[in-house]
């Protein structure tokens, strides 16, 4: 194919399937330039859309409680008494199944950092805080975002509480932490 024919081919497949033109040019340049042996498999562009759902498995209740009841749940091991949040279905140490316990949603920052650089997805939020929060009544740390007017108010040892968003999706971002004034 000459250049004009190749361009028409790219445009046709771009219009027909919505495949980006630069993708077509990259993937099919060798074929359309006649570089592939005549007996080589002939590849053609196509597009596949997949609708699917996935499961949170044994952590499901944690996310459902966030969405339905604005509640944070941990998972307690009845063997050693440790409480996990994020929850685990079985204790890391005892391998025993855990049971759900409702938490107050208050806690303390055990480690934190101020983000001044990020990818484009979060750039409007700069500067923001990434923190490890130990919720009251738990033995583990939850990595989370803080939402504060003044990032200088956040330090290791700061007491915080969970605030739930009006619109919740059953996601870890259904809540955030802010300092207890
Ligand atoms: Zn245990």
pLDDT tens digits for 131-146? 999 999 999 999 987 8
Counting every residue, how long is the chain? 181
In terms of domains, do 23 and 74 share one?
A: no
For CA atoms 93, 94, 99, 104, give the dihedral sign.
Answer: negative
pLDDT tens digits for 28-75? 999 999 999 999 999 999 988 899 999 999 999 999 999 999 999 999
In terms of domains, do 68 and 157 share one?
A: yes
| pLDDT cut 90: percent of the chain above it | 80
In terms of domains, do 44 and 69 share one?
A: no
Listed in order, strand segments (DSSP E) in the chain are 72-77, 83-84, 98-103, 106-115, 128-135, 142-146, 159-164, 175-179
Is the peptide bond between 45 and the residue preceding it cis, with omega within 30 degrees of 0? no
Report the relative pairing of strands 83-84 and 98-103 from DSSP bridges.
Answer: unpaired
Which residues make Cβ contacts (< 8 Å) with residue 155, sequence separation at least 6? Answer: 109, 112
Q: What is the pLDDT of residue 151?
A: 81
Q: What is the pLDDT of residue 150?
A: 81
- Measured in Å, residue 139 CA sits from the centre of ligand 1 at 11
Range of the domain at 28: 1-52
- Which alpha helices (DSSP H) does the chain contain, by range? 3-17, 21-32, 60-69
- Measured in Å, residue 91 CA sits from the centre of ligand 1 at 5
Which residue among 15, 32, 52 closes a domain?
52
Count of domains forming the chain: 2
Burial of 158 (0-12, 13-18, 19+ CB in 10 A): buried
Burial of 144 (0-12, 13-18, 19+ CB in 10 A): buried
- Measured in Å, residue 160 CA sits from the centre of ligand 1 at 27
In terms of domains, do 70 and 109 share one?
A: yes
In terms of domains, do 77 and 27 share one?
A: no
Check whether 152 has a pLDDT greater than 90.
Answer: no
In terms of domains, do 83 and 130 share one?
A: yes
- Measured in Å, residue 83 CA sits from the centre of ligand 1 at 9
Which residue among 33, 52, 71 closes a domain?
52
In terms of domains, do 47 and 104 share one?
A: no
Q: What is the pLDDT of residue 181?
A: 81
The structure's pTM equals: 0.74
In terms of domains, do 103 and 174 share one?
A: yes
In terms of domains, do 64 and 29 share one?
A: no
In terms of domains, do 173 and 107 share one?
A: yes
In terms of domains, do 2 and 65 share one?
A: no
In terms of domains, do 157 and 124 share one?
A: yes
pLDDT tens digits for 84-123? 999 999 999 999 999 999 999 999 999 999 888 888 887 8
Which residue among 52, 67, 95 closes a domain?
52
- Measured in Å, residue 95 CA sits from the centre of ligand 1 at 7
- Measured in Å, residue 76 CA sits from the centre of ligand 1 at 8
Q: What is the pLDDT of residue 131?
A: 93
Check whether 128 has a pLDDT greater than 90.
Answer: no
Task: Write down the mean pLDDT value for the chain.
Answer: 93
């Amino acid at each position: 194919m000459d250049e004009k024919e190749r361009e028409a081919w790219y445009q046709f497949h771009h219009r027909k399937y919505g495949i980006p033109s630069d993708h077509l040019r990259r993937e099919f340049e060798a074929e359309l330039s006649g570089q592939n042996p005549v007996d080589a498999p002939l590849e053609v562009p196509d597009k596949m859309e997949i609708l699917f759902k996935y499961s949170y498995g044994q952590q499901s209740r944690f996310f459902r409680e966030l969405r339905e009841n604005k509640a944070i749940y941990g998972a307690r091991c009845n063997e050693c008494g440790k409480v996990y949040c994020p929850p685990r279905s079985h204790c890391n140490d005892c391998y025993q199944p855990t049971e759900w316990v409702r938490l107050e949603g208050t806690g303390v920052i055990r480690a934190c950092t101020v983000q001044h650089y990020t990818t484009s997805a979060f750039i409007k939020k700069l500067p923001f805080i990434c923190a490890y929060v130990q919720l009251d009544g738990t033995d583990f740390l939850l990595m989370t975002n803080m939402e504060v007017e003044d990032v200088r108010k956040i330090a290791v040892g700061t007491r915080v509480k969970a605030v739930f968003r009006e619109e919740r999706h059953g996601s870890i971002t259904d809540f955030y932490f802010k300092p207890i004034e």
